Chains A and B, each alone.
Chain A
Amino acid sequence: MLLEVRDLHVEFHTREGVAKAVNGVNYSVAEGETLAVLGESGSGKSVTAQAVMGILDMPPGKISGGEIVFKGQDLLKLKGEERRKIRGQEMAMIFQDALSSLNPVLTVGEQLGEMYVVHRGMSRKDARAKSVELMDRVRIPAAKERVGQYPHQFSGGMRQRIMIAMALALEPSLIIADEPTTALDVTVQAQVMDLLAELQRELNMGLILITHDLGVVADVADKIAVMYAGRIVETAPVHEIYKAPAHPYTKGLLQSIPRLDQKGQELYAIKGLPPNLLHIPPGCAFNPRCPMAQDVCRTDVPPLYEVDEQRRSACHFWKETLDGR
């Protein structure tokens, strides 16, 4: 296994109290595999990713438990400097908004080339040649001419491709993409996702795709982990989850996708709001919004039940959910 996150807990110490952003997350990614982490805002998906990358702001954040095992070593036991050397070389991250993720005062070529200068000790000239190569690779037209331009001179989709190029520069074995297509329009989204998936196959990288867009997931992911209130509520191979969700929350998410064959009907929405992380409800965190909630849901935190060999669901009534569709 390339990356294994085991029972990870992350808290944020705020003035109002301790916000438990991540409460025992487990997931794993193998080489060449794509894991989609799905969840609404505040479900802890980005925080988990930041913890894996080691870029969590501490304080106020605090990793209060768990292990992050990458290529056999627990990253949480490494020193800051050792950790830094892994970033960029072994694992890299693609951010949501490519315009704000690129430095406005440096040219694109300088920023791409920086990866080689810092980590590989290349000369500026060689690094520039490498940057052109990278830009070609992510299919930016006229790369040779555009390498000296500034980020604002590129369109949104191109900027995101430059971000991808930066992340791929040193051919890391793990890429974390945090909502890489949210800021793009739909046609460009598809192109960027295709490019990412293709490069991933080519380099046999592990990819963690963080998103709240179920449409993006279906095409590229191998497996899905659905998060809610800092916990994983369901993991499954991608196609099975679409066929038959085993958790009421996943089911609600799938029902709330607009569909062409339901034109004119009211769009389904999960009732209520995601819980305040300062006061997560006892029992199953989803129980106040769950149509199937029983007494046991309000008292006992559901463990991850084994649905089958590859599927897990954190619902006391996963059997009923799976059948009653």
Chain B
Amino acid sequence: MPEPQTPDEAISQAGAGGATDLAMEEGTSLEKTPGGPEGTGPAGKPRSLWSDAWRDLRRNPVFIISSLVILFLVIISIWPSLIASGDPLQANLDDAQKGSEPGHPFGFDPQGRDVYTRVVYGTRTSVTVGVCATLGVALLGSLLGGLAGFFGGWWDSILSRLTDVFFGIPVVLGGLVFLSVVTSSTVWPVVGFIILLGWPQIARIARGSVITAKQNDYVQAARALGASNSRMLLRHITPNAIAPVIVVATIALGTYISLEATLSFLGVGLKDPAVSWGIDISAAANYIRNAPHMLLWPAGALAITVLAFIMLGDAVRDALDPKLR
């Protein structure tokens, strides 16, 4: 990564370069002339959309805060024992509903399990569900939607109607129906369900942006110069169509995490003995007047996590959408 230029520098260099170009265009001699000292040549450092976006992001406090939070969440979801030494499943009914005490800063839950440890271990579930579901949705959705947009025809019609069908399924109701038949207590049924209902959203966006990118002259030009379908898709269309998919997927990640908590809360997502904020919130909800700490800690963790991902998505959108500049 080259040193970033200040905007003023960049503009003045671009201006100088432009002026030199113009002079060369208008000059009678078209002989090869070396670039001026700060003219055409290396001075105007090439900047791609991505390096531009990165430059924007690094100066955005929202991005910095949210990505630090997310980095922290990812680290503790991989190594929860870094900050929590206990066992999230160890229960002692004598401690049930007790408040904060030394060594147990968040107190105990109705089963006498340490809330702090459970909140820390719950991160793993949420992050795993969020990341896996988003990856699955993004891959499946952009593959199906992108191909539909590129090739059009009957495949496009079928896929578009299919997305309509999926959009018609209410998420929570669908979850109750699909997941109540599953007995596994791992995260995978939930991830699968979210992918199943989530892909049409990305598919529509990918389809739309591929159709827009496809109509660009440079795609036609690439075709006229003998590029194959796969090359046009990968090299010319994908880089120009992927930004909206990334933005929507990042924002969706947060909502998938809260969706997992919702489903677990309703008892169809993850089930005991799995550790999940949704399960803990559900168990604590009955005791909210006697022992609110059992509810507030996991709920707070959930809110912060979802907020961090949505803020990240927002920052990415600001950086990638040229219309907002």
Chain A residues engaging chain B, CB cutoff 8 angstroms? 53, 55, 84-89, 92-93, 95, 97, 100-107, 114-115, 118-119, 136, 139, 141-143, 145-146, 148-150, 153-155, 157-158, 163, 166-167, 169, 187-188, 191, 195
Contacts and interface: CB of A to CB of B under 8 A. Distances in A.
A87 B224 contact: yes
B217 A141 contact: no
A187 B30 CA distance: 12
B122 to A, nearest CB: 40
B163 to A, nearest CB: 24
> Which 8 residue pairs spanning A and B have beta carbons closest together?
A88-B226, A142-B35, A145-B41, A87-B226, A93-B224, A100-B217, A101-B221, A155-B21
B243 to A, nearest CB: 10
Interface string B219-238: 01111111110010001100
Contacts of A195: 30
Nearest to B49: A105
Interface of B: 14, 17-18, 21-22, 24-26, 30-35, 39-42, 44, 46-49, 216-218, 220-228, 231, 235-236, 239-240
Contact of A105 (B223, B227, B240): B240
Contacts of B32: 136, 139, 141, 143
A48 B30 CA distance: 34
B108 to A, nearest CB: 55
B226 A89 contact: yes
A106 B41 contact: no
B239 A88 contact: no
B224 A145 contact: no
Given A142-B35, A146-B40, A155-B25, A118 B217 contact: no
B24 A102 contact: no
Nearest to B31: A139
Contacts of B222: 103
Contacts of B223: 55, 87
Contacts, number: 120
A142 B236 CA distance: 26
Given A95-B221, A142-B34, 15 more contacts: A55-B220, A84-B227, A101-B217, A101-B218, A101-B220, A103-B218, A104-B218, A143-B32, A145-B40, A146-B40, A149-B46, A158-B25, A163-B221, A166-B225, A195-B30
A242 B271 CA distance: 87
Nearest to B50: A105
Given A101-B221, A106-B239, A146-B41, A154 B21 contact: yes
From B40, B48, B226, B228, residue with most partner A Cβ within 10 Å: B226
Contact of B226 (A105, A118, A154, A191): A118
Contact of B40 (A55, A103, A142): A142
Contacts of B26: 187-188
Nearest to B26: A187
A95 B21 contact: no
A95 B228 contact: no
Contacts of B225: 87-88, 92-93, 115, 166-167, 169
Contacts of B42: 145
B238 to A, nearest CB: 10
B227 A118 contact: yes
Given A118-B231, A142-B41, A157-B25, A107 B46 contact: yes
Nearest to A178: B224
Nearest to A166: B225
A245 B231 CA distance: 47
Contacts of A87: 223-226
